[in-house]
A and B are shown apart, each in its own frame.
Chain A
Amino acid sequence: MIVIRNARVLRSDRIEQSTVVIEGDTIQTVGEEPAVNGARVIDADGAWLGPGLVDLHVHFRDPGQTWKEDIETGSRAAAAGGYTAVVAMPNTQPPIDDGERARAVMERATAIGTLDLRAAGCLTRDRAGTEMADFDSMYSAGVRIFSDDGDAVPDAGLLRRIMMYLGDLPGAVVADHAEDRSLAGNGHLHDGVTAARHGIEGLPAVAEDVIVARDLELANATGSRIHVQHVSTANVVGLIRQARERGVKVTAEVTPHHLALEESALESLDPNLKMYPPLRDAEDREALAEALASGLIDAVATDHAPHATAEKDVPFEEAPRGVIGLETSAAVVSSALGRDQALFFDRMSVAPARIAGLDRQGIAVEPGSPANLVLFAPERRWTPGAFASKSQNSPFRGLELTGKVMTTIYEGRISHEDGSG
């Protein structure tokens, strides 16, 4: 039995200071003082208690690049960040493009037992962008989100057939990486002021915009569900708004770093600020924050993309793209959302759980709810130093953040506890 006292509890219809009792994998009572003989008692000291966080977009690099991350270290990083479920992108080596590979990844996470890991599956066989992946075997293994993340499906005709096919499978979602290769060229950062000043080839916003515009039209034409990954431009926010108004079944995610940082931060050419899509300008960042607050963008997803220090500690133009995010996202997002507890849990847990079809996640704290929970101290200040992730390529390393994950509980067991006292 775990008893959490003095928490600000996210209930289905209100937030209240209360005591929560967990028995087994279920919440037993809310607001009742139990007999605590033998129970583990946690004094929350006013911290937020809500459903464990859900990340629609992580890279655990496993199989194939386990010097960057593996399922075990990735799971630990996720638990440290307050997550009880993640969706792992399939651009591993080999890529997850059939049911057997998807099942293998998920079974290993189950054996570790600290979070619900769902494999995303490829849209195309071998992520090659030329023919459909084996959707049926992946779907029966439990895969619901399909993406060639890292690459857009270049062939619109193929993507249209994919949308038609996946449209027949209830709960299946097409998630396309929005990057037109011919427009992105050899770009390394947003095609803005900083790129122009340094004379480094830029990634124009329009490289993202044209793919999203194409995909939304295809989703409209086929009636398929579409999830727009890592939105970074104000234009894409506008495209999503229009598509929603037309009844397109579209959801969208934004990363914490795009909510908090702008391309001007790249003046230093720090490789730990290099990712795709790149940090854009102030107008884009403001549009993203507004869209997340209004719900036009449904969810936050970290795009946790580990790279080893030796890979990132190189000249900017030679560094790989991607930053880690699992362990800093709660702080960054709660700050971006003005420390609004209900909004925070909706965008970080409820909405992503709904998009991924996770029935034991994103559920308000009520008697009978699954005990997938996070205790988050929104005012606590800390400075990220060493991460549980195998990689350290965080844009927030060394910056003071406000808001810290104190305890993460997965299926009634504590999967992370803050050790900083």
Chain B
Amino acid sequence: MSGLLTLRGASRAELEELLDFAQSFVGGSVIHRGGAGGTVTTVFFEPSTRTRLSFEKAAHHLGAHVMSFDAPKSSTAKDESFRDTILTLTAMGTDVFVIRHWLADAAELTAAWSGRPVVNAGVGKREHPTQTLTDALTLRQRFGHLDGLRVAIVGDVGNSRVARGHLAALPTLGVELTLVGPTPFFPAVDPWGVRKSTDLDSELGDMDVIYLLRIQKERGSSAGIPSERGYARRYGMNEERLSMLKPTSVIMHPGPINRGLEIDGVVAEGERSLILEQVANGVPVRMAVLSLALGERR
């Protein structure tokens, strides 16, 4: 594979193979030095904690060097500097790019400009494929399978790269997705043909997984709802709603969480929560992806 630009269009077999490969890195039981001597450059035009750190940790585990590029804090930096940044970092000796950007086509453009494998670490509102793989791996570990799992994605789907990434790949793995939220949070048209619900309470009893999305004030989530308090009342995951779940059901969230908004603190830290497992699985997943990308360096 040429880096990881998208999971869209990947077959079930390809996705499962990738998950198996990621699983082989869990727990550090296997020593891989497949990245030895390579250089992974992380280019983040948007702030990130867990994604960036887990990519860098993964690269270190593989024996690769890491270069980090922090975009100017202002998101008004224009495309010229984006292109120039990629050309500069390529010339400096990058083997694999890890890119996060607010533009939907940033990963493809980076690949075209650099001629290097590119790993999409979250672009625009389009996709965050390593988050999707991380969540799929976490679910597979918990339930032993993905086929037929019923997952409700709750929140501002329209503004969420995580949700779009899940929609692009999880159904291929047999997951049954339901989108839950107020109608302004759904895209005006639905390319995926998935079930939608505006009533979380009526869904809780049927779901294996409640996947909560962050209310992203920075992406204009608040334009779709009259108030955060109102949202928390209708869609916030609290103890009362927790009690309406099946005993085997779990709570997930890609982080960072807004405590008291989409999820209460006690729920996030409770025994149903897989949030920290998600974070932990981020490293082996990124090791697998980087290992494949580094394998084809010059």
Pair from one complex: yes
Tell me whether A306 is interfacial, beta carbon within 8 Å: no
Question: With A199-B164, A200-B125 given, is the CB distance from A315 to B106 under 8 Å?
Answer: yes
* Pick from B78, B104, B160, B188: contact of A269, CB under 8 Å: B104
What chain A residues lie within 8 Å of B105 (beta carbons)?
A: 269, 315-317
Taking the nearest CB of chain A, how far is it from the CB of B252, in angstroms? 20
1/0 contact string of B145-158 vs chain A (CB within 8 Å): 00000000000001
Please give me the residue from chain B that is nearest to A310 by CB atom: B80
Residue of B103, B159, B164 touching A197 (CB-CB under 8 A): B164
Decide if B124 touches A200 in the complex (CB within 8 Å): yes
Whether A204 is near chain B, meaning CB under 8 Å from some CB there, is yes
- Check A191/B106 contact, CB under 8 A, given A199-B125, A315-B79: no
Residues in B whose Cβ lies below 8 Å from that of A193: 189, 191
Indicate the member of A191, A197, A314 with the most B CB atoms within 10 Å: A197
- What is the size category of the interface that chain A forms with chain B? 10 to 19
A123 to chain B, nearest CB (A): 30
CB-CB contacts below 8 Å: A360-384 with B:
none
Q: Which residues of chain B are near A315, meaning CB under 8 Å?
A: 79, 82, 103, 105-106, 109
CB-based contact A196/B189 at 8 Å: yes
Chain B residues in 8 Å Cβ range of A197: 126, 164, 191
CB distance A316 to B104 under 8 Å? Answer: yes
Indicate whether B271 reaches chain A with its CB closer than 8 angstroms.
no
Q: How many of chain B's residues have a CB under 8 angstroms from any CB in A?
A: 23
Q: A200-B125, A315-B109 are in contact. Are A191 and B104 (CB under 8 A)?
A: no
Confirm or deny: A192 has a beta carbon within 8 angstroms of a beta carbon on chain B: yes
- Is B240 positioned at the interface, with any CB of A under 8 Å from its CB? no
Tell me how far the C-beta of A158 lies from the nearest C-beta in chain B, rounded to whole angstroms: 28
Q: In the assembly, what is the distance between CA of A198 and CA of B124, in Å?
A: 8
Give every chain A residue within 8 A of B191 (Cβ-Cβ).
193-194, 196-197
Per-residue CB proximity of B182-203 to A under 8 Å, as 1/0? 0000011111000000000000
A200 CA to B158 CA in the complex, in Å? 9
Contacts of B164 in A (CB 8 A): 197, 199
Smallest distance from the beta carbon of B276 to chain A beta carbons, Å?
A: 27
- For window 184-208 of A, CB contacts with B under 8 Å fall at 191-200, 202, 204
- Contact pick for A199, options B82, B104, B108, CB 8 Å: B104
Partner pick for B190 among A196, A199, A200, A314, CB 8 A cutoff: A196
Q: Is there a chain A Cβ closer than 8 Å to B100's Cβ?
A: no
A194 to B103, CA, bound (A): 15
Distance of B200 from chain A, by nearest CB (Å): 22
Segment 151-198 of A: residues with Cβ below 8 Å from B: 191-198
Question: Is B253 an interface residue when CB atoms closer than 8 A count as contact?
Answer: no
Give CA–CA (A196, B186) in the complex, Å: 9
**Using Cβ atoms and an 8 Å threshold, which residues of chain B touch A194?**
191
Q: Which residues of chain B have a CB within 8 Å of any CB of chain A?
A: 78-79, 82, 103-106, 108-109, 124-127, 158-161, 164, 187-191
- SS class of chain B's interface: helix, strand, loop or mixed? loop
Cβ-defined contact, B161 with A199, below 8 A: yes
Query: In the assembled complex, which residues on chain B have CB atoms less than 8 Å from the CB atom of A314?
Result: 79
CB distance from B19 to the nearest CB of A (A): 23
Interface string of A315-347 (1 = CB under 8 A from B): 111100000000000000000000000000000
Residues in chain B near residue A195, CB distance under 8 A: 187
- Output the residue of A193, A199, A314, A318 with the most chain B CB within 10 A: A199
Query: B78 touching A318 by the CB < 8 A rule?
Result: yes
Closest chain A residue to B80, Cβ basis: A314
Q: A191-B189, A315-B79 are in contact. List 17 more A-B contacts (CB 8 A).
A: A192-B188, A196-B188, A196-B189, A196-B190, A198-B126, A199-B127, A199-B159, A200-B125, A204-B188, A269-B104, A314-B79, A315-B82, A315-B105, A316-B105, A317-B103, A317-B105, A318-B103
Q: Which residues of A contact B108 (CB under 8 A)?
A: 269
Cα A197 to Cα B105 in complex, Å, equals: 12
Cα–Cα, bound, A260→B105 (Å): 25
Chain A, range 57-113, C-beta contacts under 8 Å to B: none
CB nearest to B163 among chain A residues? A199
Contacts A/B (CB < 8 Å), 13 sampled? A192-B189, A193-B191, A195-B187, A196-B190, A199-B125, A199-B159, A202-B187, A202-B188, A315-B79, A315-B82, A315-B105, A316-B105, A317-B104
Choice from B78, B127, B159, B188 contacting A191 with Cβ under 8 Å: B188
The complex places the Cα of A197 from the Cα of B9 at a distance, in Å, of 13
Contacts of B159 in A (CB 8 A): 199
Distance from B77 Cβ to chain A, minimum over Cβ atoms (Å): 11
Contact A196 B187 (CB under 8 A): yes
A198 CA / B164 CA spacing, docked (Å): 8
Task: Please name all residues of chain B whose beta carbon is closer than 8 Å to the beta carbon of A202 when the two chains form the complex.
Answer: 187-188
* Residues in B whose Cβ lies below 8 Å from that of A192: 188-189
B126 CB to closest chain A CB, in angstroms?
Answer: 4
CB distance from B93 to the nearest CB of A (A): 25
